[in-house]
Structure formats: structure tokens, C-alpha cells
Structure 1
Amino acid sequence: MKPTAAPDLPPGLLWFNTDRPLSLSDLAGRVVLLSFRTFACANCMRLVPEIRRLRKEHPALVVIGVHAPGFEPATVAGNFAEAVRRSGAGYPVAIDRDHRLREAFGIRTWPTFVLIDPEGKIVGTTTGEGIAGRLGPTIGRLGGDSAGPLQAGGVSVVKGALYYPGKVAADHAGMRLFISDTGHNRIVVAGTDGRIIETIGSGEPGNADGSSGKAAFYRPEGVAFDEAAGILYVADTGNHMIRAVSWPDRAVATVAGTGLSAPGALNAPRDITLLGGFLYIAGARRIWRMNLATRETEPYAGSGREALVDGPLMEAAFAGPSGIVTDGEVLYVADREASAIRRIKRGMVETRIGHSLEDFGDLDTIAGMARIHHPAGLAYHQGLIAIADTGNHKIKEFDPETGWVLTRAGSGGQGDRDGLSGDATFNEPGGLVNLGGLWYIADTKNHVVRVYDPAGHVVSTLRLWG
């Protein structure tokens, strides 16, 4: 049968594991294998080792997974990022939402494989298992018989760039983002275009100071950048420490904490913020502060018992501080386990949103009656407090002057959908920061950073590359 030209990959596909949308014209000179499958297909999962074998034996081969939504449980369809990760695909994956590719290639069963030669023509289609033995010889022949040498480049894969990112901080002068890549035990430094500039930490869980490549963190979360000093402070949650990364040498040093969880010690710091010569730390049931000049650290607010109690600093009680921010004068705390927003002002702790440890919900109204659900992060911008309303999968806004609480992004559904802010979906966002008028959000359980444009009312995904 004479080979026929393959339909090109249409624009508008949702892509994973690649720094940009792909097209067959981009891959001219390469042998391409399209793997049509669904996330719920057991036979498809058994083929993962065979695809891995083909890629190992034929380095010039480009494998592209094409997943057809609508044939799997709603829980999978609502979170494609996690489904792609669990599928073990270490190659680009396209989500064929409207089944355009499925129809164009005449796919009727899963798994189906379509082999495309370096000239962009379909040379064969096969289904079922045992593909390595059937396709291997043909792939080898196509690679050897191509009109010219196969291009060495063409696809830049970012494989699992982030894993449970917790918080985000900004360098406003340098237009850089600092992302706590919590699950990978490191800090990712990226530009607003998604280019990964560098990473801080070896990625191996541990507790070691030193150069950026040799230092080790353990599940870091909060990050705060002192632009004047050129120091990034990191809440190294799993190590019960505060670490400092200095520029330009990028050395990592421990500046607070013993490394042990113990009564009266700094335990599980979750978030940090800078104010007036101090670093304020949201830790386990307490707010701590560290003097930046002397590095002396002491409890600042909270008795240490788990409760939602207002009052003088050391008599008040927190349930689970997970986010902290300042407007330049006072502190605001996301007390996650109480589904509350607390304010620390003039030696007093006051609850602005929230009622008890058992009371949570999703209600936009005046602060005294509003409901949020286990918020993990806060940010401040132009007089307003942005809330990562984690349990509601939303970004909300609190106006301390008027007291109003309003949803700004997120439908409330759990998912990874970009689009208009009211239709977009998140999956337990953890932290956020405003840089250049855009909100960069650690969408923790989607393992990505999302971008909310308040002027255009649009949510998009920041594709990390480089």
C-alpha cells in the first residue's frame, strides 16, 4: 500500500511533557510514533515497557501520546496533569479533547499505534501488544533509509518539572520567580516566560548546606526574597529550619532551627514574610520571628495549643498557620486548620475570616460571614489580600478596608482547565505572588504554576522549559 500523508497535529491541543505545542512539520526528518490510548485502558498501561524499549533502541524515534478524554472516569478527566504523570509517559502527550485526531486517523480501538516516516507519511498502523517486535525493524529501516541524516534535536521535553509545588516568591527587579518544588526537594528559579534559569538544591531529600548543586532540602515550602540584600529565605519544612540562599554565589546556609522537631523549638515552618528587619515564620501552631541582623529566633505569637483564640500575642492560639504575608504594617496569617484568616496588629491577634476548627465552606460576602476552606497561602498587592482557598480550588480576594471577600479565579471544581477565570479549575492551589500585574499560582496538586491575568480575567498554565 502506498504511504499517505499524515494529517498534521491541529492547534489547540492540551500538551504535557513538552515546552511547546508540536506539529508534524516541526518533526520533518524524524520517525514519529503516535500512541493513541486512554488513561483507563489496562492494555495501554502494559505497553509502557515496550514503548520504553523502542525509545531506547531507536534514539531518533519521537513518540507522541494522544489521549482521548471521555472514555475514562470523571476523576481522571478532571486532572489530566496527574493522569499523565501516573501513566509513566516520559514523552510529549497531547489531550485530544474534541477527538479531532482520533477521527482524522480513523482510530477505533485502544491502544493503536501510527508510524510516520521522516517525510510525514503514514507507513503503518497496528493495535494491541507486542509492538516492540513488530515495529522495531521498520523503525530501524526508516531511520537508515531517510533522505538525509535524522535531525538530532526538535523536541525539548520537560519531564516532571515540578512535583507538588508549594509556594511562589518574586524578584520584582529581576522579573524572576522562585518556586518551592516541594516534592522534588529543591527551589526552581524561572523567568516569567517559563524558562528555568537554575535550580537550588540537589533534589535529593536531606539536610546539607553548601553550593546550590550540593545543598539538600527536605520538602521546602515558603519562600521570601530580600531584594535589597539579594537573599532568598526558604522555609525548609521537613528539616524544621530556615535556609538562606545568597546571590551571586548561590550558597545555601542554615540561619534558624535545630533540624529537630521538639517542644519549644521551631517546628515545621510552612511560610515566611519579611517586615521591618525581621523574618516572620508561620510554624506549627505558632508565629515565630527571626532578627535578620543577629539571626536570633523567638516565638512571636501563639500559645502553642491548637485552637482559634484571639487576644494578646502569646495568649492567642492558632490551629495550623500555613501562609503569612504583610501589607507593610501588619501581618495576615492563613490559619489552614481553622479555615481562617487572622490579623496580627499592635500586639493583638484578631480573626477576620473564620469561626471555628469545624466551620468551613465557600461563601463570598462580608468577612464576618464569609466561608473559606483550609487556605494554604496569602499574598498582598495594592491594598488587597489574595487567598489561595485551597480546599475550594479557588483564588479569592479579601479587602481589609471594606471587609468583602470575593472569588477572582476558579469555578470551584477540581481540575486543570485554563480559560476565563470563572470557568478555570485548580487542584488545591497552595501559594501565589503578584509579579508585573499577573498572579503566579502554585497549583500544588496539578504540579504546575498557573497564571491569572486580572485585567483579561483569564487563567493559563506557565509552561516551564529550558
Structure 2
Amino acid sequence: MVRAPEFPNDLAWLNVNRPLSLKEFRGRIVLLDFWTYGCINCIHSLPDLKYLEQKNGDRLTILSIHSAKFENENAIDNIRQAILRYEIEHPVLVDRDFKVWQSYAVRAYPTFVLIDPKGYIVTSIAGEGRRDLLDRLIQELIEKNTIEPQFLSFELEKFPISPLAFPGKVLAKDDRLFIADSGHHRIVISSIEGEIFDIIGTGSAGLTDGEFEQAQFSTPQGMTIDNHLLYVADTGNHAIRCVDLEAKTVCTIAGTGNQSRIIYPHGGKALEVDLNSPWDLEKIGDRIFITMAGAHQLWELCGDKIQTFAGTGAEASFDGAIQGAAFAQPSGITTNGKELFIADSETSSIRSIDLQTNQVKTICGGGDLYNFGDVDGIGETARLQHCLDIEFSGNLWITDTYNHKIKRIDSNGFCQTVVNSLNEPSGISATETHLYIADTNNHVIRKLDLATLEIIAIDFPNLCAPMICFPH
């Protein structure tokens, strides 16, 4: 057996008030989680880790090792924001320069390393969906070792108490704003000046249909609207929800609440097919197109049927016919009526699909999973960094999320920075005169005047956090 390498003493820790060592956890089982916070597969593993923590917390310590893929993911404050966004409640080591990653010979996100109470590595397992296997191995270690039960507590990062928490997407329509208040698990409807019209959801994560006050969502993201029906990508629930704005009710129209483990193209009855982190929606006629971020595909919902529309399920960047094309965590979608435009976040590129020929092409940035940066230019000369949303309004507008910018692709194909100094903006929506921006890590919605490029934060004086309005 191989003894688990000790952590370097020159790395930063979060969710704890001092550096930790493996040695101090002798006598307990330790599970290391190697991750990076923009990776959908890593995000999918967080509920599994929470389950294992809650079940075995008196004998098990989970330590997350954050080894950044993108340059932006190296910043300590950005990692802190991700810890809060995903409600991580165990220590996180900031693994700059992949020191710990290399010492454990890790090759993929996520990877889990199980360490026994004597400090020896039991196994290393890559990939998401490993909860049952890890649970079984942990139970075997508990049975084979005498472990003194003890719950450990850590000084966790503090969740922001603000009217909005990590708003993911925003939709401007008919003088109204629809805001996915993702960190509060609800949808906020307001005027474009900030007057609150309705709040949909209790503010607690769950999958509950019914009236606005009783409904529950889980980290909702993208939305699209058709008359009085608002469709919501309920990302954490792996579901599509329909909000009737007249009846003031919510119902589930696609998904089972369970995450799909199938990566090849498939489909069926909408309420019987498991989905995989739907992130954004665009409705054209009777078809709702879905960026299925967890499956690296585009899907199509029509009536009570849902199916893969484009993408093999491979996490990659391949153009061509929709059946053979590949995407990587598509997270934003828009249309000009003839084409779909997709923010393909893990390839840091903008892709398009011609709805007549069903051909996919890359129109800006990208090339592969590691071609990212911050360069204005045309086509492949331009560089983005983990772009999460896109909007068509004369030009194409992009939330260049990890560069903290809004960029514009003009009619000549030139991609240019328009707005700086945001903090991981994740959502954007346009009217004829303004852009509305979900400035996610700043917990605000901003309004950009397209004529003057003046940008202001919208104030919501009558909006408060659920724990303030409805303390538990």
C-alpha cells in the first residue's frame, strides 16, 4: 500500500481558519475530491459528497482539492464565491500549480482518492456518478477499522445576505425582468426599474409544483417566454418547468428530477426521460431548444416529447452535421430565427446551428478544451474564457464570464470588448435600447445603455433574501 502524500505547507485553504495536514486526520477516513469549479462533472459530484458527509460525518473527513483548469479559477476569491454558490461545507485546498494533483497522479476531473485511517491510499476513482461505489468502500473501511466517532466542525465561508444571490440568468421582456435568483432557488419578476411584481418559489431548494408561494426550484438558470407562459431550466433538478403567469402556478413539463447517466443521443416522453443539467432555453414556434450542459448536447422539447437535437455526447469541439457534432458544456442559447447561437463554455467558443441545413460551425474562439484567453478579433483569432450566455439583438452579445466582460460580435464577425469590471457575469438579455446583465458574483442585475454605454446597477428596494423575509 502507498502512503498518501502530505500536503505542501505553502498553499491556501478555504472553509477553515488554518492550514490542515493529512496527519491530523489519522484515525479517520479521508476522501479527497479533486475538482475545478466550472466543470459540470465536478458540480454533479457535490450532492454525492454532501450525502457521504451527512451519512458518515462522524468517521469521514472530506477535503476538496481545487486544481484550476481556467486561469480565472485560480483566484482565491473566485473559489470562495464558488464554495458559497454550491454550499460546500468542508475544507477546500487551493492547489496552485497542480502540486497536489501531480503528487497524487490525477488525470481527470473529478477524481476521488480514498485514504484509510492509517494514512494509506485505498483507491483512486475518476468521473462523476461514484456515490454508491464510494459509499460501499467507506462502509468496508468502517467495518474493518476501529474509528472513534467524532464530528469535526470548520469555520465556513459566510453566505451573502443580499436581495439576490448568484443570479444566473436574466430575461427582459415587455417591460419586465425575469431573474433566475439561482442562489436563492427562486424566480423574481420585476419592472425594468426594479419594482417587484412576483416572487416564484419558497427560497428553499426542492422540486415542488403548485402556486407561486409553494413551488420550489433548485438553482434555476435560463428562461424563455411565450405569451403568459415562462419556461425555466431548473438546472439542479434536471427538469424543465412551466410558469403560468396568469394562473400563478408552476408545473414540471420535462424531466424526472433524476440526473441522466446516458451520454448517447436518445429521447422519449418528456416526463419519463431523465435530463442532465439543462442550463438555458430558446423557444422557436412550438420547439423549445435546450442547452443540456451535463450531456454536452442540444436538446429539443416539442409538446410532450423530448430528444437530443445535436451532439454525440462527447465533450469536445467538432463542427459539421448535428448528428456528429460535439459540444462541451453548452450553457447559453439565442436565435435570429434562422440560426441557433450557443455559448459553448468549456471550449470558450460561440457555435451556431443553421436550422435549415442542421450544420454546426464555430464562429468565434475555441478550437478545443484548452484554447481560451482574452483577445478581441475575428473567428478563431478571438479568445474567450468560459462564456456562459449569448443574446442576439442586431449583434451577438456575449457574457465572457471568466474574463468578467461583455463582448459583442458585429455583422463583420469581429468580437470586441464592450464592458469591463464585472464579476463572472452569467446571464444577458437585450431590448432595443438596453442590455440587462446578471453580474453573478456581485449579486446584482445591471443595465447597459446601448447608445451611451453607461452602465448602472438596478435597485430592488422591496426585495429581500428568503432568510430575511421568511426566517426559518
Q: TM-score range by the shorter chain?
A: 0.5 to 0.7
Give 1:165's aligned amino acid.
Answer: P
Structure 2 equivalent of residue 261 of structure 1 = 259
Please tell me whether the aligned partners of residues 170 and 225 of structure 1 are also in contact (alpha carbons under 8 angstroms): no
Aligned counterpart for 2:414 among listed residues 400, 404, 408? 404
Segments of structure 1 that go 5 or more residues without pairing to the other structure are: 1-41, 43-74, 87-157, 411-424
Please tell me whether the aligned partners of residues 278 and 289 of structure 1 are also in contact (alpha carbons under 8 angstroms): yes
Structure 1 equivalent of residue 129 of structure 2 = none
Q: Aligned to 1:189, what secondary structure does the other structure show?
A: strand
Structure 1 equivalent of residue 243 of structure 2 = 245
Give 2:331's aligned amino acid.
Answer: S
Q: Does 1:286 align with 2:297?
A: yes
Please tell me whether the aligned partners of residues 209 and 252 of structure 1 are also in contact (alpha carbons under 8 angstroms): yes
CA distance, structure 1, for counterparts of residue 284 and residue 235 of structure 2:
21
Structure 2 equivalent of residue 170 of structure 1 = 172
Q: CA deviation at 1:247?
A: 2.1
Structure 2 equivalent of residue 348 of structure 1 = 359
Aligned counterpart for 2:382 among listed residues 370, 393, 398? 370
Structure 1 equivalent of residue 285 of structure 2 = 276
CA distance, structure 1, for counterparts of residue 397 and residue 432 of structure 2:
15
Structure 2 equivalent of residue 418 of structure 1 = none
Q: Does 1:453 align with 2:444?
A: no
Q: CA deviation at 1:409?
A: 1.0
Aligned counterpart for 2:406 among listed residues 395, 403, 423? 395
The two structures, once aligned, show a CA RMSD in angstroms of: 2.1
Structure 2 equivalent of residue 115 of structure 1 = none
- Matched ranges for 1:51-70 at <5 A: none
Give 1:314's aligned amino acid.
Answer: Q
CA distance, structure 2, for counterparts of residue 362 and residue 159 of structure 1:
32
Please tell me whether the aligned partners of residues 235 and 241 of structure 1 are also in contact (alpha carbons under 8 angstroms): yes
Q: CA deviation at 1:262?
A: 1.8
Q: Aligned to 2:441, what secondary structure does the other structure show?
A: helix
Structure 2 equivalent of residue 309 of structure 1 = 318
Please tell me whether the aligned partners of residues 438 and 454 of structure 1 are also in contact (alpha carbons under 8 angstroms): yes
Q: CA deviation at 1:368?
A: 2.6
Q: Aligned to 1:270, what secondary structure does the other structure show?
A: strand
CA distance, structure 1, for counterparts of residue 431 and residue 350 of structure 2:
23
Please tell me whether the aligned partners of residues 172 and 436 of structure 2 are also in contact (alpha carbons under 8 angstroms): no
CA distance, structure 2, for counterparts of residue 234 and residue 311 of structure 1:
29
CA distance, structure 1, for counterparts of residue 304 and residue 405 of structure 2:
36
CA distance, structure 2, for counterparts of residue 447 and residue 244 of structure 1:
25
CA distance, structure 2, for counterparts of residue 273 and residue 429 of structure 1:
19
CA distance, structure 2, for counterparts of residue 259 and residue 289 of structure 1:
18
Please tell me whether the aligned partners of residues 304 and 317 of structure 1 are also in contact (alpha carbons under 8 angstroms): yes
Structure 2 equivalent of residue 145 of structure 1 = none
CA distance, structure 1, for counterparts of residue 372 and residue 424 of structure 2:
15
Please tell me whether the aligned partners of residues 393 and 431 of structure 2 are also in contact (alpha carbons under 8 angstroms): no
Aligned counterpart for 1:386 among listed residues 377, 386, 397? 397
Give 2:407's aligned amino acid.
Answer: K
CA distance, structure 2, for counterparts of residue 402 and residue 378 of structure 1:
17
Structure 2 equivalent of residue 222 of structure 1 = 222
Q: Aligned to 1:337, what secondary structure does the other structure show?
A: helix
Please tell me whether the aligned partners of residues 185 and 203 of structure 2 are also in contact (alpha carbons under 8 angstroms): yes
Please tell me whether the aligned partners of residues 393 and 432 of structure 2 are also in contact (alpha carbons under 8 angstroms): no
Please tell me whether the aligned partners of residues 319 and 335 of structure 1 are also in contact (alpha carbons under 8 angstroms): yes
Q: Does 1:338 align with 2:347?
A: yes
Give 2:305's aligned amino acid.
Answer: E
CA distance, structure 2, for counterparts of residue 305 and residue 368 of structure 1:
21
Q: Aligned to 1:199, what secondary structure does the other structure show?
A: strand
Please tell me whether the aligned partners of residues 325 and 331 of structure 1 are also in contact (alpha carbons under 8 angstroms): yes
Structure 2 equivalent of residue 48 of structure 1 = none
Q: Deviations over 1:231-257 (max 9, x none)?
A: 000000000000000121111000111
CA distance, structure 1, for counterparts of residue 275 and residue 423 of structure 2:
29
Q: CA deviation at 1:408?
A: 1.1
Structure 2 equivalent of residue 7 of structure 1 = none
Structure 2 equivalent of residue 235 of structure 1 = 233
Q: Deviations over 1:364-416 (max 9, x none)?
A: 1112311111000011112x1100000111000112x4111111111xxxxxx
Please tell me whether the aligned partners of residues 376 and 388 of structure 1 are also in contact (alpha carbons under 8 angstroms): yes
Please tell me whether the aligned partners of residues 231 and 241 of structure 2 are also in contact (alpha carbons under 8 angstroms): yes
Q: Percent same amino acid among aligned pairs? A: 40
CA distance, structure 2, for counterparts of residue 459 and residue 195 of structure 1:
19
Structure 2 equivalent of residue 92 of structure 1 = none
Structure 1 equivalent of residue 198 of structure 2 = 198
| Matched pairs, number | 295
* Runs of 4+ with >4 A deviation: none
CA distance, structure 2, for counterparts of residue 310 and residue 439 of structure 1:
30
Please tell me whether the aligned partners of residues 333 and 342 of structure 1 are also in contact (alpha carbons under 8 angstroms): yes
Give 1:378's aligned amino acid.
Answer: I
Structure 2 equivalent of residue 181 of structure 1 = 181
Q: Deviations over 1:244-284 (max 9, x none)?
A: 00121111000111211123442100111111321100012
Give 1:221's aligned amino acid.
Answer: Q
Structure 1 equivalent of residue 267 of structure 2 = none
Segments of structure 2 that go 5 or more residues without pairing to the other structure are: 1-16, 18-74, 86-159, 263-273, 463-472
Q: CA deviation at 1:435?
A: 2.8
Please tell me whether the aligned partners of residues 388 and 395 of structure 1 are also in contact (alpha carbons under 8 angstroms): yes
Q: CA deviation at 1:159?
A: 5.8
Give 1:426's aligned amino acid.
Answer: L
Q: CA deviation at 1:436?
A: 4.9
CA distance, structure 2, for counterparts of residue 436 and residue 212 of structure 1:
30
CA distance, structure 2, for counterparts of residue 318 and residue 252 of structure 1:
31
CA distance, structure 2, for counterparts of residue 313 and residue 220 of structure 1:
27
Q: CA deviation at 1:453?
A: 1.0
CA distance, structure 2, for counterparts of residue 250 and residue 234 of structure 1:
14
Give 1:409's aligned amino acid.
Answer: V
Please tell me whether the aligned partners of residues 338 and 374 of structure 1 are also in contact (alpha carbons under 8 angstroms): yes
Structure 2 equivalent of residue 417 of structure 1 = none
Q: Deviations over 1:436-464 (max 9, x none)?
A: 51111000000100111121121111111
CA distance, structure 1, for counterparts of residue 448 and residue 422 of structure 2:
11
Q: CA deviation at 1:171?
A: 2.0
Structure 2 equivalent of residue 321 of structure 1 = 330
